[in-house]
Structure 1
Amino acid sequence: MSDNLKPQTNKEQRTVAIIGQGYVGLPLALLFVKKGFHVLGIDLDRRKIEMLRKGKSYITEIPDSDIQDAIASARYTPTDQFSFMEAAEAIVICVPTPLTSYGTPDLSYLTQAAAEIGGRLQKGQLVILESSTYPGTTREVLLPVLNKTGLQAGSDFFVAYSPERVDPGNEAFPVENIPKVVSGITPNCLARVEELYGQLFIKVHPVSSTDAAEMTKLLENSYRLINISFINELAMICDVLQLNLWEIIEAANSKPFGFKAFYPGPGIGGHCIPVDPSYLLWKIKQYGINSDFIQISNAVNHMMPLYITRQLKQHLEKKSLTGSRILIYGAAYKRDIADYRESASLELMHMLEIEGADVFYHDPYIPSLQLGDNKYDSLELTEENVKKMDCVVIATDHSSMPLAFILEHALLVYDTRNVTKDMTGKARIVRLGGGDS
């Protein structure tokens, strides 16, 4: 093994830089600190950096105490200066990879990070991309920028791809307990990333190429998009057939093989499932092929807020949304988190606005949000406020939701998550996929 391949053996002397201190980068940074590494947490958002330096967390699932412990250990340095990463043996890229307004990949954050790294790349450094992206990105976008240094990948520096698998709000699977898929541009690159991540994760799973690792992430999220969209389509079918889909899923799930339960909802949100499959669609269109499954699933997912809007119009006593007061419970895309990126709740609110409804929302994790030109503040769940509503829509099933209180004081509750199963109250209850008349 060459000197450049040999990692430092003393963890207390090992330093990594993580570009992006968001939902992926910050948990990874804290895990490195926990395992004894020095971490340079780089982010261009000065607000985030100032909060971190003060021991404050901006991610609901990460308590302030975790940040304070990391700072107190003197092994975590939040900074907005890219120059700091010259001291690191490894640089991990955890930047956003969203979609443009045209539904195509937006790699601007990645190319900016790559340029910053390329201008400072040191001999022997390992560069790992973790951001979700299409197959070929590491080879075709990241590597060419680093090659401009004149150094040789696989001997002078090392390039790897390892898809993030963070699941916000899932306490059953801490980051380090989730097996880590790793890949490298060359065998030496793979050896370096295997060694480094072997210090952090309970299991490291190597694959043959960075393209294969990139595709692994897209498979995981396309699988979920397709299955959840299919179940949402079944919810609409069961509403027409007057069947309870929730009962049917429970019955099918009693089979010990050949079936995995997915559940309906107002639509799929977050930074992965609604986005990653579109990265794959964009890539394969360059080869003259398409994925009907992904296209149809995207269409069903985008249709759900419109379907729920139509359902509300049908179930409201006055059969009109104009002037109706609708309260959306939950703006986050999933329970017990403060992330509302791509949340179906926002599109549902927008649809209701178009129909002339007076729209309100409540979310214990999101005190305010911007929807187009309008700013909304989370409405306090008082008896008076709930009684004023023509309908309360349960869009996100936060565990702290005062469900009995809502059912006692609301006129109509439209439940997209089946949390009202076997419950009664003064409110009339309608469930998505519940076959309610």
Structure 2
Amino acid sequence: MNIAATTGRARPVTAPAPTDVAALRAALAERRATLGVIGLGYVGIPLALTAVKTGFSVLGFDIDAPRVAQINRGESFIKHIPHAAVAEAVAAERFVATTDFDRLAEADAVLICVPTPLTKYREPDLSFVVSTAKAIAGRLRPGQLVVLESTTYPGTTAEVLRPIFEETGLKSGVDFFLAFSPEREDPGNPDFGTSTIPKVVGGDGPDALALAETLYAQLVVKTVPVSSPATAEAVKLTENIFRAVNIALVNELKVVYGAMGIDVWEVIDAAKTKPFGFMPFYPGPGLGGHCIPIDPFYLTWKAREYDITTRFIELAGQINTAMPRFVVDRLAEALDRHARRGLNGARILVLGVAYKKNVDDMRESPSLKLIELIEERGAATDYHDPFIPVIPMTREHAALANRKSVSLDAETLAGYDAVLIATDHDTVDYAHVVRHARLVIDTRNACAKAGVAASTVVKA
């Protein structure tokens, strides 16, 4: 989210009154405080609704006026968040969305939930965080708590946000309080939501830590205090680097075992029966979502400041980013072997463009890269996704915008030379797909998990 247009000019503050930390902490503990949530997306909306449900009043800030209007009508724009949850919060008059950033002054605590993407050179893009910080600085008042939740490299809170806020003349830990608490949302996960996931908290000083702990103790099942914002920032990166590296490992094993005629999914399912020393991760067509494909490179970039190369992380990145090309090569080989034809001139149906199953989230989805690679090799491509009827505009894949999902009826399936399963949505009838498709390339083991086996199914 770019809120530069709403940025107010930071105004000098002279001789601020002493901040009553005890009073602010009491207001947070008793849920009398007003919370401001900046960025009403996959992180901000669940956070805001959780806060409202626990008794807080919440002001939600976003520059997307249609989205703000939709929220204020009590409508959800995210599949796994029901309309009723938004409507209930709005009807209770404890949740209001707005594009008016001057209302930040009304908030006792401001929570920043804006994107932190990479540039095309795989370097951190903090433009959204910086523009948000400047917007806050223009309205910052003594006695406010500001918490960054956006994933970033260690040092961002202290080195980027604090100087912007202190240009106002207010001092962190004295006049206002600054903390970092990384979001841990897993969209579409039925087992864990915002309130049931422990929250790591690092404060810029003891008062900031105490205030942030008090706030999140009202929202989540458990708070996990750490010694500094930088430590909290490192915790989030470590969580996602762990996943990225282990996914890279099983992706590499998929390639190796595949060459040996061994099914990597069968290997993993057998290995996970060991009750200790093994944790299952699964291969796929590439990494998706806002976290795992991006976050490791934030640490890689920061490590260069210390003349350290993150070889393990970078190798994992190379393996994971190579997966879409591996899948397309497997698709071409399968067409040659089973259909006696090449990829050039073929008609391919990509099944699933969400980055993971059962969500309507396309951020960093490998499906988009797959479509582009397939079409570069001369094939015509359509897609089906029950949760994404139209591909929205994205920065990296603008040419695919406005394409529409096709049906999965028998006649449509039979019209393609191959169906490539890129996302294993549970609502798809895989037996129906296999029955009517000429060839199925399965990157998620979806057919086997559905109990469907056929000579026309090729794992990739």
TM-score if structure 2 supplies the norm length? 0.92
Taking structure 1 as reference, are residues 30 and 355 closer, same or farther at Cα in structure 2, changes over 3 Å only?
same
AA matched with 1:420: C
Q: CA contact under 8 A between 1:4 and 1:155: conserved in structure 2?
A: no
Which runs of no fewer than 5 residues in structure 1 stay unpaired? 433-437
Q: CA contact under 8 A between 2:154 and 2:230: conserved in structure 1?
A: yes
Structure 1 residue 19: deviation in Å?
0.5
1:373 is matched with which residue: 383, 399, 403?
A: 399
User: How is 1:153-172 mapped onto 2 (pairs within 5 angstroms)?
Assistant: 153-172=172-191
The answer to whether residue 378 in structure 2 is matched with residue 356 in structure 1 is yes
The answer to whether residue 294 in structure 2 is matched with residue 275 in structure 1 is yes
Pick which of 30-39 and 370-379 moved more: 370-379
CA distance in 2, matches of 1:246, 1:228: 13
The answer to whether residue 439 in structure 2 is matched with residue 412 in structure 1 is yes
CA distance in 1, matches of 2:65, 2:19: 39
1:4 is matched with which residue: 7, 12, 21?
A: 21
1:53 aligned residue:
72
Q: Residue 408 of structure 1 aligns to a residue in which SS?
A: helix
Q: CA contact under 8 A between 1:179 and 1:204: conserved in structure 2?
A: yes
1:341 aligned residue:
363
1:302-326 Cα deviation digits (max 9, x unpaired): 1111001111111112241011111
TM-score if structure 1 supplies the norm length? 0.96
Q: Residue 326 of structure 1 aligns to a residue in which SS?
A: strand
User: How is 1:296-307 mapped onto 2 (pairs within 5 angstroms)?
Assistant: 296-307=315-326
The answer to whether residue 143 in structure 2 is matched with residue 124 in structure 1 is yes
1:428 aligned residue:
456
CA distance in 1, matches of 2:280, 2:43: 27
CA distance in 1, matches of 2:431, 2:248: 30
CA distance in 2, matches of 1:2, 1:396: 51
CA distance in 1, matches of 2:80, 2:271: 33
CA distance in 1, matches of 2:221, 2:113: 21
CA distance in 2, matches of 1:374, 1:193: 42
Pick which of 367-376 and 120-129 moved more: 367-376
AA matched with 1:3: D
Structure 1 residue 426: deviation in Å?
6.4
The answer to whether residue 93 in structure 2 is matched with residue 70 in structure 1 is no
Q: CA contact under 8 A between 2:431 and 2:447: conserved in structure 1?
A: no
CA distance in 2, matches of 1:26, 1:372: 26
Pick which of 420-429 and 323-332 moved more: 420-429
The answer to whether residue 206 in structure 2 is matched with residue 184 in structure 1 is no
AA matched with 1:242: G
AA matched with 1:48: R
1:382 aligned residue:
409
CA distance in 2, matches of 1:246, 1:210: 39
2:7 aligned residue:
none
Structure 1 residue 254: deviation in Å?
1.1
CA distance in 1, matches of 2:192, 2:452: 34
Structure 1 residue 427: deviation in Å?
6.4
AA matched with 1:167: D
Q: CA contact under 8 A between 1:4 and 1:123: conserved in structure 2?
A: no
Q: Residue 52 of structure 2 aligns to a residue in which SS?
A: helix
AA matched with 1:347: K
CA distance in 2, matches of 1:128, 1:188: 13
Q: CA contact under 8 A between 1:83 and 1:120: conserved in structure 2?
A: yes
AA matched with 1:178: I
Structure 1 residue 54: deviation in Å?
1.4
1:230-252 Cα deviation digits (max 9, x unpaired): 10111011110001111111111
CA distance in 2, matches of 1:233, 1:13: 52
CA distance in 2, matches of 1:86, 1:343: 37
CA distance in 2, matches of 1:399, 1:11: 42
The answer to whether residue 265 in structure 2 is matched with residue 238 in structure 1 is no
The answer to whether residue 278 in structure 2 is matched with residue 256 in structure 1 is no
CA distance in 2, matches of 1:124, 1:72: 29
2:51 is matched with which residue: 32, 35, 39?
A: 32
CA distance in 2, matches of 1:159, 1:176: 22
Pick which of 207-216 and 414-423 moved more: 414-423
1:221 aligned residue:
240
Q: CA contact under 8 A between 2:325 and 2:373: conserved in structure 1?
A: yes
AA matched with 1:406: V
1:84-128 Cα deviation digits (max 9, x unpaired): 110111000000010111111111111111011111111110000
CA distance in 2, matches of 1:271, 1:16: 25
AA matched with 2:371: M
Taking structure 1 as reference, are residues 426 and 383 closer, same or farther at Cα in structure 2, changes over 3 Å only?
farther
Q: Percent identity?
A: 46
CA distance in 1, matches of 2:341, 2:370: 18
Q: CA contact under 8 A between 2:272 and 2:280: conserved in structure 1?
A: yes
1:139 is matched with which residue: 134, 137, 158?
A: 158
AA matched with 2:130: T
Taking structure 1 as reference, are residues 425 and 214 closer, same or farther at Cα in structure 2, changes over 3 Å only?
closer
Task: State the number of aligned residues.
Answer: 432
CA distance in 2, matches of 1:222, 1:336: 24
Alignment RMSD = 1.4
Pick which of 319-328 and 135-144 moved more: 319-328
AA matched with 1:323: G
AA matched with 1:113: T
